[in-house]
Amino acid sequence: MDETRPLVSPEEAVRERYSRAATQREAALCCPVSYDPKLLEAIPAEVLERDYGCGDPTRYAREGETVLDLGSGTGKACFLASQIVGPTGRVIGVDMNDEMLAVARRAAPEVARRIGFGNVEFRKARIQDLRPVVPDGSVDLVVSNCVLNLVQPEAKKALFAEIHRVLRRGGRAVISDIVSDRDVPEPLMADPELWSGCISGAFREDAFVQAFEEAGFYGTTLLERQAKPWRVVEGIAFRSVTVVAYKGKEGACLDRGSPQPVDAAPATEEGTTCGPGSSSCC
C-alpha cells in the first residue's frame, strides 16, 4: 500500500477511478471477454474502448424481456442486451457515475439508429438503493458485469435484497463478477487502488453463491468460471465467474400434487423440488 496517498473512502476511489476511465481507456481494468461480434457492430467505438467487464451475462437474455444492468458503465452490456431482447423488450442501465452515464446516453441514439429501434435508457442511482429508479417486481432479468465487488461490504446485503426486490416472481439474476479463492485480508481491503480495481471487494467464491441464497434466491448455479485466474495478488487468486439465481414465490413451497420439473432443481425444506419452470412450487 502507498502510505503517501491521500485517504479516500472506497466509494470515492471508485467514483474517481471510473470518472477517469469513462474519458480515457484504462487497460488495468480490463479482463478479456469474448462477445458476439455481430452484436458489437452496432455499438460505437467510444463504448467498446471503455469496456470494464469480466464476463457476458447478456448472452442469457431472451427476446421480449425487461433487463436491468447494474453498474452499466458506458453501456456495452445494455446495447448487447438491447439487440437480444429486441423491440418488444427493454433495457435499463443504472450507474452512479455521471461521466459513465454521459458516454452511455450519448451512444444510445446511435445504437438505436443502427439497429432500427430504441429500447435502452440509463438511470442514475447507487445499485444498493434502486428504490428511487426501479419499482418492485418490474424486471425479468438482472445482469451485472464486474460491479458487485465494488460495493462496500456493509452495503452488500442491501444490494442483494434490491436485486431480489426488483425481479418479478420467476425472474432471474445473471451476474458476472470477480471472486477470490480466499478471504481478502484487511490491508488489501484498505487499498483504494486495489478496491477500485475490482480486487479488494471481491467475494470469496463460495460466499458469492451463499449471498444469493441468503437474499432468498434459489437454484443458484455457476454458469462460467475462468480456469486461469485473472490476477494473483499476495497469493490470492482472483477470477471471473458468472452465476444465475432465480426468484421464486415468497413463503413456504407447498406441493399441491402436480408433477414438478426437476432440472437444476434444489430440494426445499418442505421436501418438494423447485426449479426453473416449476409451476405450483416457488
Ligand X SMILES: C[S@@+](CC[C@H](N)C(=O)[O-])C[C@H]1O[C@@H](n2cnc3c(N)ncnc32)[C@H](O)[C@@H]1O
Question: What is the binding site for ligand X (CB under 6 A)?
Answer: 14, 18, 29, 51-53, 71-73, 76-77, 95-97, 100, 126-128, 145-147, 150-151, 198
Identity of the residue, 26 or 110, whose beta carbon is nearer to ligand X in the bound complex? 26
Q: How far is the CB of 56 from ligand X (least distance, A)?
A: 9
Q: How far is the CB of 261 from ligand X (least distance, A)?
A: 32
Identity of the residue, 53 or 192, whose beta carbon is nearer to ligand X in the bound complex? 53
Q: Which residues contact 27 (CB under 8 A, 6 or more apart)?
A: none
β-partners of residue 172 are 141, 246
Going by C-alpha positions, the residue among 218, 94, 225, 86 that lies closest to residue 151 is: 94
Q: How far is the CB of 19 from ligand X (least distance, A)?
A: 8
Identity of the residue, 226 or 272, whose beta carbon is nearer to ligand X in the bound complex? 226
> Cell for 49?
474502448
β-partners of residue 144 are 70, 175
Identity of the residue, 99 or 205, whose beta carbon is nearer to ligand X in the bound complex? 99
Identity of the residue, 29 or 43, whose beta carbon is nearer to ligand X in the bound complex? 29
Identity of the residue, 151 or 274, whose beta carbon is nearer to ligand X in the bound complex? 151
Q: How far is the CB of 123 from ligand X (least distance, A)?
A: 10
Q: How far is the CB of 175 from ligand X (least distance, A)?
A: 11
Helix ranges (H only) for the chain are: 10-23, 37-40, 45-49, 76-85, 98-115, 156-166, 186-189, 192-196, 205-214
Q: How far is the CB of 73 from ligand X (least distance, A)?
A: 3
Q: Are the C-beta atoms of residues 208 and 222 closer than 8 Å to each other?
A: no
